[in-house]
Amino acid sequence: MKLNLYQKTALTTVIATIVLIFVGGLVRAAGAGLGCPDWPQCFGMWIPPTNAADLPAQYDASLFNPFHTWLEYVNRLIGVLIGFLITLTFAISFKYRKSDPVITFTSGLAFVLVLFQGWLGGQVVRSGLSAGIITIHMVVAMIILATLLFATFRAMSNRLSISISTNTRRRLLWVSGIILFLTLIQLVLGTQVRESVDIAKNVMVLPRSAWLDTVGWLYEIHRSFSWLLVIFAVALVYYNKKLQVPGRLNRTGWIIAVLIIMQIFIGIGMEQFDMPGVLQVLHLVSVAILICAEMLYLLITGFSSTDNLEAA
């Protein structure tokens, strides 16, 4: 069975949102957030220049960095594309307004959130890259991604349905729910660590090797907390095997476990090699994919069929 227009559009929007998070991570890691010092234009132009000689007279040419400018400009263009895709997703979702109004509602919620995100992007620039606003900007992006993923799953649930026993579903929901909860706590802790790093980098102007030294106990909690995730990831894989869950759900569980372990190694690499930009970006993108995988596991399990199955 082929995907219908809504399913194709919604799935494309989810993937594009992950790409936007990746590019946003590049912007932050490269320090290109003020590559365009104004909003919504860039150096007072809709298409920024490639060299300082073409800047409008009111802008200081010494502040112009073509790489930073175009990286931030591409980030904005992708953001606009996401806005159009979410708008299109919402418009097409009206086909479900009677058969499944939840799809229309969540698509509409994503539309409202992306409007707020666009406004918030302007506040990030106007605030001069305030760490707190940048963090809110990133968290809202994750909420948009989660909302889109739910709407997409809802529209494709018949393709992803499985049959498991009530007892199996209960156990898997508990373990996977705890993993998602812990991941969200780690996300919040990680944003706080990143804010402290931004202060050390941009306000205190410390060398890269000293960034983590300014974080203190918060980083210790963030690092230690990750081992709880590893423990529950192992438990999820164990239950997948013990309870003989269907292949699709089993594969998703393995993906979750691999992503969690990968996050651990990325974190170790960031600590050992003074937070290189490439690892910062991988850390951010992989947690976005991890949250998607965890949500998908929960949704497949939660919407599974238990008819005519014996309890495990």
- pLDDT tens digits, one per residue of 99-151: 999 999 999 999 999 999 988 888 877 776 676 777 788 888 889 999 999 99
Same domain, 123 and 1: yes
Question: Tokens for 192?
Answer: 């706080």
Considering only CA atoms, give the Rg of the chain. 22
Asked whether the predicted pLDDT for residue 1 surpasses 70, the reply is no
Final residue before a domain boundary, out of 138, 160, 182:
160
Same domain, 118 and 154: yes
Same domain, 249 and 147: no
Final residue before a domain boundary, out of 139, 160, 181:
160
Question: Tokens for 48?
Answer: 């920024």
Final residue before a domain boundary, out of 119, 138, 160:
160
* Mean pLDDT confidence for 282-296: 92
Same domain, 130 and 249: no
* Mean pLDDT confidence for 172-185: 93
Torsion of CA 231, 273, 28, 148, to 10 degrees: -20
Quote the mean pLDDT of the chain: 87
Q: Rounded to an integer, what distance in angstroms lies between the CA atom of residue 105 and that of residue 148? A: 11
Helix (H, G, I), strand (E, B) or coil at 45: strand
Same domain, 97 and 203: no
Torsion of CA 1, 250, 228, 133, to 10 degrees: -10
The model's pTM: 0.86
Q: Would you say how long the chain is, in residues?
A: 312
CA distances from residue 111 to 14, 25, 90, 116 in whole angstroms, order as listed: 13, 22, 7, 9
Same domain, 153 and 59: yes
> In which residue are the tokens 């005519």 written?
308
Give a three-class secondary structure readout of the chain: CCCCHHHHHHHHHHHHHHHHHHHHHHHHHHCCCCCCCCCCCECCECCCCCCHHHCCCCCCHHHCCHHHHHHHHHHHHHHHHHHHHHHHHHHHHHHHCCCCHHHHHHHHHHHHHHHHHHHHHHHHHHCCCCHHHHHHHHHHHHHHHHHHHHHHHHHHHHHHCCECCHHHHHHHHHHHHHHHHHHHHHHHHHHHHHHHHHHHHHHCCCCHHHCHHHCCHHHHHHHHHHHHHHHHHHHHHHHHHHCCCCHHHHHHHHHHHHHHHHHHHHHHHHHHCCCCHHHHHHHHHHHHHHHHHHHHHHHHHHCCECCCCCCC
pLDDT digits (tens, 9 = 90+) for 72-89: 999 999 999 999 999 999
Say what percent of the chain tops pLDDT 70.
96
Domain with 78 in it: 1-160
Q: What is the pLDDT of residue 176?
A: 94
Same domain, 196 and 224: yes
How many structural domains comprise the chain?
2
Give a three-class secondary structure readout of 243-266: CCCCHHHHHHHHHHHHHHHHHHHH
Q: What is the pLDDT of residue 129?
A: 63
Same domain, 110 and 238: no
